[in-house]
Amino acid sequence: MKNKIENYLLNLVHPGTNQKFISAKNIKEINIESDIKLLIELNYPSKSFNESYCKIISEDLFNLTGLKVTVTIKNKILTHKAQQGINHLSNVKNVIAIASGKGGVGKSSTAVNLALALSGEGSNVGILDADIYGPSQPLMLGVNQKPKRSKDGKSMEPVIAHGIQVMSIGFLVDQETPMVWRGPMATSYLEQLLRNTEWDNLDYLIIDLPPGTGDIQLTLAQKIPVTGSIIVTTPQDIALLDARRGLKMFEKVNIPIIGIVENMATHLCTECGHEEHIFGANGGEKMSKDYDCELLGSLPLDISIRENLDKGLPSVAKDPNSKISEIYKLLALKAALKVAKLSEDHTSKFPNIVIQKS
């Protein structure tokens, strides 16, 4: 019977993602006596899904075995490998880079709502606004304050907004001050901003990159431990062309592509309900097939997304149960599932070898 239960769990498909979401490592205990008790430890956050998981599993196994089933699901986020030769950041388990080939495709709005969705599922999340020349996260999150110095005076504490940790150059300079810096200065400042922030035990650090494939992106790829990247695009051909360049850049530096997000995929008229593909149709799907990477989700061109961000209340924070928020939550789940399937990094568990004179 134990083998039958294991086979069922290993082949269980998540109804929202159509993916298998339980591996052999996730099954911690199968106790069969007069009834069945299961302990499952998922390596991704799934707070809002765990109750439905338990219901599906207990009902299916009751039908399969005829025994009462009690299911306990826990979540434990693991640290996963980054680029070879780059050490992990202190107090940060996984770094996810959000990138786009060009500006104006909704990369920052995707980044902040993804961060909030992951946080809402029970993980500890931070977001680094890496757009040195045009930081937007302070406005989107409705915060504008100077970070506090850490207790040792050597670093800064992140600003807390809507339950997530935030750092941006926008907190340190006047909003109207242009950052007239050459590439090396900008990349050096970014690395300092990242490493001199006292992140507090993060499961995920979301990095909102500037658009393009320039110095900042290359610095990130060469010096910062990135678990994986997400490419944001619109269905428009010119946006897809630039998004493909961004995807190829990450491939060249051995950073896994977690998936693609298609933004502004369709517009639903608020007056008549007519649906229109303003920027073209199925561009993200075609790109995902061309490069064999997952299309994590498609978001509509919706005025509420823009209005909420302008007020400092991203959609997931303002109304977690809205239709838009549900898309972001499913997108976050797919991304977390993909990260959980990446190879675990055990280097931090290895003891240091110390050579002493005898």
Tell me, which fold does domain 92-341 have in CATH?
A: Rossmann fold (3.40.50)
Residue 87's contacts (CB-CB under 8 Å, 6 or more residues apart) are 225, 347
**Whole-number Å distance between alpha carbons of 347 and 233:** 35
* Locus of tokens 């990260």: 339
**Whole-number Å distance between alpha carbons of 141 and 49:** 26
Enter the DSSP assignment of 188.
Answer: H
At 344 the pLDDT is 65
Task: Please name which of 277, 267, 221 lies closest in space to residue 99, comparing C-alpha atoms.
Answer: 221
With a cut of 70, list the residues of the chain below it in pLDDT: 174-183, 213-214, 343-358
At 175 the pLDDT is 66
**Is 92-341 the same fold as 2-75?**
no
75 near 40, Cβ under 8 Å? no
pTM of the model: 0.89
* Locus of tokens 């490592």: 25
Q: Where are the domains of the chain?
A: 2-75, 92-341
Task: Please name which of 233, 89, 216, 209 lies closest in space to residue 137, comparing C-alpha atoms.
Answer: 209
Q: Dihedral, CA atoms, 308, 311, 314, 319, nearest 10 degrees?
A: -60
Tell me, which fold does domain 2-75 have in CATH?
A: GMP Synthetase; Chain A, domain 3 (3.30.300)
Q: What is the pLDDT of residues 174-228, one digit of tens each?
A: 666 665 566 677 777 788 888 889 999 999 999 998 877 667 777 777 788 899 9
At 358 the pLDDT is 40
Four-residue CA torsion sign, 19, 20, 25, 30 = positive
At 176 the pLDDT is 62
Classified as helix, coil or strand, 20 is: strand
At 183 the pLDDT is 62
Q: What is the pLDDT of residues 102-152, one digit of tens each?
A: 777 889 999 999 999 999 999 999 999 988 777 889 999 999 888 988 877
